[in-house]
Chain A
Amino acid sequence: MNESEKLRRSRLFFYEQDIGHIGEILEELLRLSKARCAMLVDLDGHMITKVGGTTTFDDQTVSALVAGSFEATREMAKLLGEEEFSVLFHQGKRDSIQLAIVGDRAILAITFDDQTTAGMVRLYAGEATAQLYDVLKEAMERKRAGQEDIPEHLGETARGRLDELFGGKSKSDDQAQDSPPADKA
C-alpha cells in the first residue's frame, strides 16, 4: 500500500499543532503569491482550516462544493483516460479560484484577484501542496493521544441536545408502525 493510499484510507484527527502548522504554510503561500484566501478541505467536503480573506461566504457550503466539483471533475478525467486533473482553475470576472489535490486526501483551494496571476498562484501552490502533504502524513501516522478525546456514548450524550434542536423526545428505539385501521388503504 503506497503513501497516498494509506493517507486516503486513514481517518484524520487534527490537533492544535497541526492546524497551526497548516496555518503557517497557508500564510506563507498567501504572502508569496499575493492570493486572497487559502482553504484546506478534505475530500468529503469538510473544511480543515482557512486563512486570509474576509468571511463573506459560508465556509461549510464552499467546502462541500469544492469537494463535490473536484470529485466530479476527477470522474470526468477517468472517462478521458486520465487518472485525475490534479489542478483545477476557475476564472471569474473579479475573483478566481484554483483547486489542487493534496496527497489524495485534501484539496487546497486558493482564491485570488487581479493583484496576482494564475501562474504565480500555481507556482507557490505547488510548494505549499508538498508541505501540506507532509503535515497530513504526520497527522495520519501519529497515534492519537488517547481515547479520552472523544466522549464515550456520544449518541446518548447528544440525546438531550437533539431533542432540544429537533423537538420532542428521541424515539430511536421505536419502529414505524401502522396507525389504527383508518390509515390503511
Chain B
Amino acid sequence: MVQINFARRELSCKIVYYGPGMSGKTSNLEKVHDTLPDDAKGRFTSIATDGDRTLFFDLLPLDVGKIGGLDVKLQLYTVPGQVYYNATRKLVLRGADGVVFVADSQPDKMDENLESLKNLEENLAEYGVELSDIPIVMQYNKRDLPGVAPVSEMESKLNKLKWHSTKASAVTGEGVLDTLKTCSQLVLQAVSVRAKTPAEAVTTTIHEQFEVLQPTAQGAQAKGPPPPRVPKPPAPKPAVAGQLEAAATRQRIELDSSSERSSPIIGLIIAAVLAVIAIAIVVVLLIKQG
C-alpha cells in the first residue's frame, strides 16, 4: 500500500514481479539494477537458495526522484515462482501497488503461465483485490529465444483483461525498463486517482481491500458477500386463512352465546337470595314489634 509521508515529502510504492518459476523475474530486477545509475537505486537483496532460486523475495529499492513535489520511491519485489512457495508468495504480494506479470514466451510454458496467473488472482483475492483493481503490466519475456510463441497467441491466452503488455528479453535487457516505466506510471496515476477519494471513502478504495484478509489462526472469514436474506415463511393460502378465521369466529360466537345463557340464571339466583334476606328482615321486625 502506498505510504505518503508529507513530513518528508515522500511517496513509497511497491511493485511486485510475478510469474511462474524461471520466467525471468529475478533477471528483470538484476537488469534494472545493472542499468540504472547509482543515485537511483539501493542495494539489490536476494533471499534465495544455494541454486539461486528465489526463496522468499528479491528486493530492489529505487529512488525515482522528485515528481510533483514528492520524492517518489519504488520498492521492486519478485516472488518465488515455484509452486510450493505459495505461502511466501502471498506474503510478498501484500500491499502491492502494481504487478508486472513476467510470462515465459516458450510454447511449452503456457500452462505454467496460466497456472501462475490463476494463482495471482487467488492470492490477490485473499486480500480482497480483483485483477481488475490493480495496475498490471504483462511482460512477454524470453523473446530472444528461438521458437517462442507469437505475441498474438500470448495476448489471446494470457491477456484477456487487456492490460498493457510489453515484449522483453531480461537477458539482453530489451523491454525491461519499458515494462517498469509503464508499470510505474500506472501506479502513480492510480495513487493520484485514489487520493481524490474523499477521506470518508478511504476504506473502500483499492488498497484498503488489500487489508481485508483472514488474520487469525482460527481462520476468520474473509469479507465476502452479505449473508443471504432469510426468506419469510410463505403466507397461508387465502382459502385456508378464511377457514381458520371462520373457525375462530365460530368459537368466539359460541363463547358469547354460552355467556349470554348463563347470565339470567345468575340474576335469578341473586334475586332469590335478596328476596330471602328481605323476607327474613321483615319477619324479624315483625317479631320485635309483637
Question: Which positions in A face B, CB cutoff 8 Å?
Answer: 6, 8-16, 18-20, 42-49, 58, 60-61, 64-65, 68, 71-72, 75, 77-79, 81-83, 104, 143-144, 147, 149-159, 161-163, 165-168, 170-172, 174-178, 183-185
Contacts and interface: CB of A to CB of B under 8 A. Distances in A.
Nearest to A142: B199
Nearest to B139: A176
A12 B7 CA distance: 13
Given A171-B178, A176-B165, 8 more contacts: A12-B4, A43-B94, A43-B95, A60-B73, A144-B199, A150-B4, A157-B67, A176-B166
A58 B185 CA distance: 25
A150 B36 contact: no
A158 to B, nearest CB: 5
Interface string B179-220: 011101111111110111001101101011001100111000
A140 B211 CA distance: 14
Q: What 3 A-B pairs come out closest when comparing CB atoms?
A: A155-B189, A151-B68, A44-B95
Interface string B147-158: 111111011000
Given A143-B199, A176-B140, A82 B217 contact: yes
A172 B186 contact: yes
B150 A11 contact: no
Interface in B215-252: 215-217
5 contacts: A9-B211, A58-B43, A151-B192, A154-B67, A165-B36
B150 A167 contact: no
Interface in B56-84: 56-57, 59, 61, 64-70, 72-73, 75, 77
A24 to B, nearest CB: 13
B205 A11 contact: yes
Interface string B82-97: 0000011001101100
B203 A10 contact: yes
Contacts of B212: 9
Given A9-B212, A13-B6, A159-B185, A185 B147 contact: yes
A177 B151 contact: yes
Contacts, number: 208
Nearest to B135: A155
Q: Tell me if B's interface is mostly helix, strand, loop or mixed.
A: mixed
Contacts of A166: 177-178, 180-181, 184
B155 A170 contact: no
Contacts of A153: 189, 192
Contact of A151 (B70, B166, B184, B216): B70
B64 A154 contact: no
Interface in B163-185: 164-167, 177-178, 180-182, 184-185
A176 B155 contact: yes
Interface string B126-165: 0000000000001010010011111110110000001011
Nearest to A64: B59
B110 interface: no
B2 interface: yes
A61 B59 contact: yes
B182 A75 contact: no
A75 B208 contact: no
B191 A154 contact: yes
A81 B216 CA distance: 9
B153 to A, nearest CB: 9
Contacts of B64: 158, 161-162, 165
